[in-house]
Structure 1
Amino acid sequence: MNAKKLFWILLLLNLLNYIDRQVLYSVFPLLQQDLKLTDLQLGSLASAFMLVYMCCAPLIGFWADRAPRQKLVSASAFVWSAATLLCAAAGNYAGLLAARSFIGVGEAGFTTIAQPFLAEQYPAQKRATVLALFGLALPLGSALGYLLGGMAGQRWGWQAAFLLAGAPGFVLAFLAWTQLQDSAHRHIPAANRPAWRDYRTLLTDKPFLWICLAHAMITFVQGGFSAWMPTYFHRYFDFTVAQAGTVFGAIVVICGAAGTFLGGKLADRLLAKTPKAYFITIFAGILLMLPCAGAALYAPNGTLGVLFISLAVLCIFLPMGPVAAALVALSKPSVRSMAFAFNIFIIHALGDALSPVLIGRASDAWGLKTALLLGCATLLPGLLFTALAARKAAPSN
């Protein structure tokens, strides 16, 4: 099928994917006031989503390596959109927890399939840039989620934020069903389907495992900041709920998008000079983020806090395109959906399935500033894992 059509449909779906995922965080203060929730309960709403998301990913990845992927993309979008609408209907903590969990089912299906589906349409020398452009949906969608949640929640209540986020997904699910084609997976002979030994080979590949672990450390910090930074602005800088969502949303959309795009372009340019290009870019992003985050959390006022958080967000998004391109390079086409599924499981099991609830628990005990500082410390092993992946990766990768 036409690569541009595939790109735009998947990009729009990915954008909505992150809007629906992140809209929750801007309405944390409203949920806390209305439903009388603790910080631990708020954090568990994010963690429950991630637990379901990461557990469903390998099951869907196994299926996606054997079936036409366009139908799975469409069904996934329908499920997560319906579950987002159910969040608006929830009247208590248990109802919200259940609805958030079902969002995880739908989004696991989409994320497992979309990146390998897209990567197969482009040559290696363009992949980091294309996957970085696709990855722009993370900062853009997250920002729109914060903006939508903060503004709609402040004006009409938190239920309206979920309704506005969930409704467009049904239109995109229909477009995916009718417009996408997957000729590569239409009829796969049994002899060409991946065997269990192929998956064992993937899981014992050290560079693949190291880069997944490095990605997990990045995801831990991204998840913690996504969940708690609007609340940090609200508590420490006296921003209103709408202001906190708007400011952090603007930071993520501008700096996150810039970091994602720059990381992809830099990696593709470096690839002409060294096969370690993806790993170098990932390492640089992690290393630069640490001092910026520390300066932001110790900032004496909101102006400096916003400035340094902006720099931290730009740096932590630099690895996004290179990580995806590295996963493609380190996996065979026959197991690529499962490779991304394994990565999803690892990064969320050790990353943002844990960080919102752990930071929430630490915040209840020691305050949110200390909790976020402790969260940033997980980037230190991320540097080590990236270096190990670069050292072990074969030159051809």
Structure 2
Amino acid sequence: MSDVSGTHEGEQRGAWGVLGILTSINLLNYIDRFVFPAVSESIKRSTLAPTDTQIGLGSTAFLAVYLLAAPFFGAVGDRANRMRWVAGGIFLWSAATALGGLARTMPELIGARSLVGIGEAAYSAIGPAILADYFSEKSRGRAFAIFFAAAPVGAALGYGIGGFVDAHWGWREAFYVTGAPGLVVGWFLLHLRAPMKSAMTPGRSANPFSSYRFLLRNTQYRLTVLGYAAYTFAVGGIAAWMPVFVQRAHGVSSAVANSQLAIMLVVTGIVGSLGGGWIGDRLLRKNREAYLWLSAITTLGAAPLAFIAFTTANTTVYLVTLFAAELLIFTCTAPINSKLIDMVPPGMRAAAMALCICTIHLLGDVPSPTLIGWISDTSSIQQGVLVIPAAAVVSGAIWMLAAWRGGRLSNAQVVEA
């Protein structure tokens, strides 16, 4: 259900402050998530000596636990004490990140990365639901654009900080450095005497089980999430393997590869996310399925550009086409998440995000890093990454179908509780 009319009181009182806090936390979220791929090549050369399949399993283990924990946090995320769950999640994922630096075997490192998934699941399910309560539909796309711009910027910082610390002190120290700030933030939020309070839309939260049943019956929600799963398959492959691909295919050092990717992520992430949120909100005035149409078109446009980037031997062509592909990919970040929030009642927002998280990772970036690693072991990393543009085509096609069907759905089916 979308709150088309009216504006939340919180949009004038404290909304932007809440947005700033949640965006800053989201930045830490992605820094800790992406430090692992930044140092993967150094881990491979260390005494742990993992195969590419085991490195891929490190990303897969994190995501498997992340998706399994999400439904629980979706159930509690539409109720009271949400900021305490967020604070606990921050503390857990940050402590687990630092523990990764103490690993003496690959199973220990995989176990630490799995714990990171529990903490991040709490924030990813609850954070957007809190934010949605502060912004009306007409401005939510722009608010989400700022919030989700922290994802590529945080990923870039994860690559950049991880690569820099790895080059100067080692991969273990990279985990210590990136995990420490979240421990401070988590402790601070847990000890607040007056926890930050949400401007929740009035009304009783739905039973979590009935919420999930409603979501599974919603045709447009199902299609939107399935398209998001294919999108996540592609993005997960890029996130886990781009530093390794650049080093092997173009013969650059770990520091250079991570620096290039960090700069590219910052620019494309900020421009794409903010631009997508602004364009989506503008188009929404003319077409209620604008978020889906915009996401479908930009994702389909990114696929051929990614294919060229992964098959060219020319480094300049690779950089230009990958930059363009990532710009288009990030354009749909705010619109697609805004669409997921808008199509459900306020009391189901955390549940909607949680079920989405579970599905997109189960079908998306849980299998993709390991699949690409397996193809790399049996063939080459250049062959492995070719599954990425194929997944982008599938994503764009499903979102286009969801947009087309959305125009035919009755309002009763969209807003039924």
| TM-score category of the 2 structures, normalised to the smaller one | over 0.9
Please tell me whether the aligned partners of residues 140 and 338 of structure 2 are also in contact (alpha carbons under 8 angstroms). Answer: yes
> Cα 1:377–1:192, aligned 2, differ >3 Å: closer, same or farther?
closer
Match of 1:370 in 2: 383
Measure the CA separation in 2 of the matches of 1:243 and 1:9.
32
Match of 1:181 in 2: 196
Please tell me whether the aligned partners of residues 9 and 176 of structure 1 are also in contact (alpha carbons under 8 angstroms). Answer: no
Identity of aligned residues (%): 34
Structure 2 gaps, min length 5 = 1-9
Deviation, structure 1 residue 181: 2.2
Match of 1:32 in 2: 44
Please tell me whether the aligned partners of residues 31 and 154 of structure 2 are also in contact (alpha carbons under 8 angstroms). Answer: yes
> Cα 1:198–1:37, aligned 2, differ >3 Å: closer, same or farther?
closer
Match of 1:12 in 2: 24
Residues 31-58 of structure 1, C-alpha deviation per residue, up to 9 Å, x if partnerless?
0000111100000000000000000000
Deviation, structure 1 residue 68: 1.9
Match of 1:311 in 2: 324
Match of 1:55 in 2: 68
**Alignment counterpart, residue 45 of structure 1, candidates 58, 73, 98:** 58
Measure the CA separation in 1 of the matches of 2:367 and 2:102.
26
Deviation, structure 1 residue 180: 4.4
Deviation, structure 1 residue 27: 0.7
Please tell me whether the aligned partners of residues 222 and 352 of structure 1 are also in contact (alpha carbons under 8 angstroms). Answer: yes
**Alignment counterpart, residue 132 of structure 2, candidates 105, 116, 119:** 119
Deviation, structure 1 residue 96: 0.3
Deviation, structure 1 residue 199: 2.6
- Please give the residue correspondences for 1:219-298 in structure 2 after superposition, counting only pairs within 5 Å: 219-298=232-311
Deviation, structure 1 residue 65: 1.9
> Cα 1:183–1:267, aligned 2, differ >3 Å: closer, same or farther?
closer
- Asked if 1:103 is matched to 2:121, the reply is no
Please tell me whether the aligned partners of residues 66 and 193 of structure 1 are also in contact (alpha carbons under 8 angstroms). Answer: no
Measure the CA separation in 2 of the matches of 1:74 and 1:265.
30
- Asked if 1:134 is matched to 2:124, the reply is no
Deviation, structure 1 residue 196: 3.1
Letter in 1 for 2:182: G
Please tell me whether the aligned partners of residues 212 and 355 of structure 2 are also in contact (alpha carbons under 8 angstroms). Answer: no
Measure the CA separation in 2 of the matches of 1:224 and 1:395.
37
How many residue pairs get matched? 395
- Asked if 1:166 is matched to 2:166, the reply is no
> Cα 1:338–1:198, aligned 2, differ >3 Å: closer, same or farther?
closer
RMSD: 1.8
Residues 66-119 of structure 1, C-alpha deviation per residue, up to 9 Å, x if partnerless?
332111111110000100110011111011011000000000000000011101
- Asked if 1:217 is matched to 2:235, the reply is no
Deviation, structure 1 residue 174: 3.6
Q: Secondary structure at the match of 1:378?
A: helix
Please tell me whether the aligned partners of residues 44 and 356 of structure 1 are also in contact (alpha carbons under 8 angstroms). Answer: yes
Structure 1 gaps, min length 5 = none
Please tell me whether the aligned partners of residues 76 and 110 of structure 1 are also in contact (alpha carbons under 8 angstroms). Answer: yes
Please tell me whether the aligned partners of residues 6 and 118 of structure 1 are also in contact (alpha carbons under 8 angstroms). Answer: yes
